[in-house]
Each structure stands twice: as structure tokens, then as C-alpha cells.
Amino acid sequence: MAALPDKHRLVLFLYYYQGYATDEIAQILGENSSTVRSRLVQARRKLKLRLETEGYGTT
């Protein structure tokens, strides 16, 4: 997760570790809710690709 850009790492942290909803994160960051949801999708995709290139998720 540390390899992700700050904007992606922050929304993942707030969503998964702090338990905030996307609307709450948007309010905290001063962003649109759609922007936060988009960043979550992008962050998940980047994290998945990163883990796969390191050999995780392969059987």
C-alpha cells in the first residue's frame, strides 16, 4: 500500500482502516463523492496489479 500515490493511499486508509463511508471521506477531503469512489476503484486496481506482479494471488 505504501507504493500507491498519496491520493489513493489516503482514501483506502480512510475507507478500510478508519471505516468512513465515501460521502464522509469526500467531506473530509473537500472532494466530490464521485471523485472519492473513483479513487477507490483506481487504488484497488493499482494495489491488485502490484500484488500480482509480486507473486501474490497466483496459485
pLDDT single digits (tens) 29-39: 999 999 999 99
Mind listing the domains of the chain with CATH numbers?
Answer: 6-52 (1.10.10.10)
Residue 40: per-residue pLDDT: 97
Q: Describe the crossing of helices 22-29 and 33-53 by its angle, rounded to 10 degrees.
A: 100
pLDDT for 58: 65
pLDDT tens column, 2-57: 889 999 999 999 999 999 999 999 999 999 999 999 999 999 999 999 889 888 87
Which three cell numbers, joined as nine digits, stand for 22?
465515501
What nine digits make up the cell of 4?
A: 500507491
> For residue 40, which phi and psi values (nearest 5 degrees)?
-65, -45
Maximum Cα interatomic distance, the chain, rounded to a whole number of Å: 41
